[in-house]
Structure 1
Amino acid sequence: MTSTFPDISISTDRLVLRPFEEADVPALTEMMADDQITAWMAAPVPYTEAEARNFVARRAPARRTSGDGIVFAVTEMLTERLVGLVELHGADWRVLSVHAAYATASWARGEGYASESLTAVAQWLFQDQKFERLEIRTAADNTAAQQVAQKLGCISEGVLRNAWIARTRTENWGPSRTEAQGGWADIRTDLIVWSLLPEDLDGAFEGAFDQSAEAGGYAPYPGWPQRH
């Protein structure tokens, strides 16, 4: 029988990581349409509200029920505003290894939300789920994603050459050449492989979250407000 992650929410001092809800669709649509996310993630272009609704209602829940991984909506605890997402995918339940991907809304960058949420997920993954390896792959030029991996304490293991298709902006000029109407073009790029093991996380972010020692820097958040 396929193993699955539990239907759970996690909290830190500032954040609640929970399943996506229908009310998240407008914010998710706006977040995923940002140029930085379009450039580095394999999301549809354009990212429409219909795509966001399909992700929230079908694809995200199926990630967990199929045993492939789990998807968290990352929200501010005080405002409940969507600041990003964390996805675990490609779970190997024999090896106890899984891949992570993450995105942050443009307005929320620079606040440490990505590293905070990933640290909480990693602690939950290693302590509660007894996994032994978390892997992150970042495009060679995606320095922001690499900084998050480094802050998390990940170890760079090497490069997968020519292994990813990113996107770059193009300029399509109209007849008057008064303004550019940008499109997107695919470009091949290398991937840097990062790994995190339970021992790598020991001491990382010590004191970063005001949580009990028993919680290890995160806490279960079994009830989250259902918004309508």
Structure 2
Amino acid sequence: MPPDHPFGYEASMLKGEKVGLRARHDDDIPVLRSELYDDHVNGSRAEGRPWRPVTPGSNDSRLVVDDNEPGHVPFSVVELASNTLVGTATLWGIDNHARAAHIGLGLLPSARGTGYGTDVVSVLCYYGFTVRGLHRLQIETLADNTAMLRSAERNGFVREGVLRSSAWVLGEFLDEVILGLLAEDWKPGLLT
């Protein structure tokens, strides 16, 4: 990798400024389950399906990696300074014909408000555009998710539309915002 390259790397990890994206480890699963998915409020806001409790030790498809699924690439997110697990990141819905994919991420409650989300989006853009050779990345998020909207826009994503009352979340319909970024518009390290 050239010395002026904006992203670092080491065996099995992509590095941003604050976080690294690495393969999911077995000991990540109980932490992610308890801090992200067992919380019915956050789980309901993050999923496009109703929240339900998951039996400990079960093969929860949101957490257990299927290496034979080419359209879904999950990462665990770690803080670089301490190598501590801080969340999950995913490139999903990968369409190799259209060269497009979607970005998703979830940060543990203790890691929110730290700038990690912006860094995760940046590293996922590097992975999608540079490593995978994709042309378009897309993010769908609830209209009131200001942290995700800010993280996306700092990385150059543009709001492309609003799906009015499209998400049923805890007893009410909420709007969703669609954001997109094309490879030719991506500027590594933009972070405005």
TM-score, length of structure 2 as denominator length: 0.80
Query: Relative contact order: is structure 1 or structure 2 higher (C-alpha 8 Å, sep ≥ 6)?
Result: 1
- Over 3 Å counting, the alpha-carbon distance change for 1:65 and 1:120 in structure 2 is same
Q: Distance in 1 between matches of 2:120 and 2:160?
A: 23
Match of 1:54 in 2: 60
Q: Deviations over 1:150-190 (max 9, x none)?
A: 122100001122322222xxxxxxxxxxxxxxxxxx42222
Describe the superposition over 1:176-217 as per-residue Cα deviations: whole angstroms up to 9, x where unpaired: xxxxxxxxxx422221110011233215436x9xxxxxxxxx
Q: Answer whether contact 2:13 2:23 (CA < 8 A) is retained.
A: yes
* Contact 1:34–1:106 under 8 Å retained in 2: no
The code of the aligned residue for 1:190 comes to D
Q: Which consecutive unaligned segments of at least 5 residues does structure 2 have?
A: 1-10
Partner of 1:30: 34
Q: Provide TM-score, normalisation by structure 1.
A: 0.69
Question: Match of 1:194?
Answer: 179
Q: Tell me if structure 2 keeps the 8 A contact 1:29–1:48.
A: no
Q: State the alpha-carbon separation in 2 of the partners of residues 83 and 34 from structure 1.
A: 16
1:205 corresponds to which residue?
Answer: 190
Conservation of the 8 A alpha-carbon contact between 1:41 and 1:166:
no
Rg: which structure is higher?
1
Change (3 A) 1:114 1:48: farther
Whole-angstrom CA distance in 2 between matches of 1:39 and 1:9: 29
Quick one: which amino acid aligns to residue 131 of structure 2?
D
What does residue 217 of structure 1 align with? none
Query: Which 4+ stretches in 1 moved above 6 angstroms?
Result: none
Conserved? CA contact 2:17–2:119, under 8 Å: no
SS of 1:65's equivalent in the other structure is coil
- Indicate yes or no: 2:49 matched with 1:40: no
Q: Calculate percent identity across the aligned residue pairs.
A: 25
Count of paired positions: 179
Unaligned 5+ segments in structure 1 are 1-6, 168-185, 209-228
> Are 1:9 and 2:16 counterparts?
no
Q: Secondary structure at the match of 1:74?
A: strand
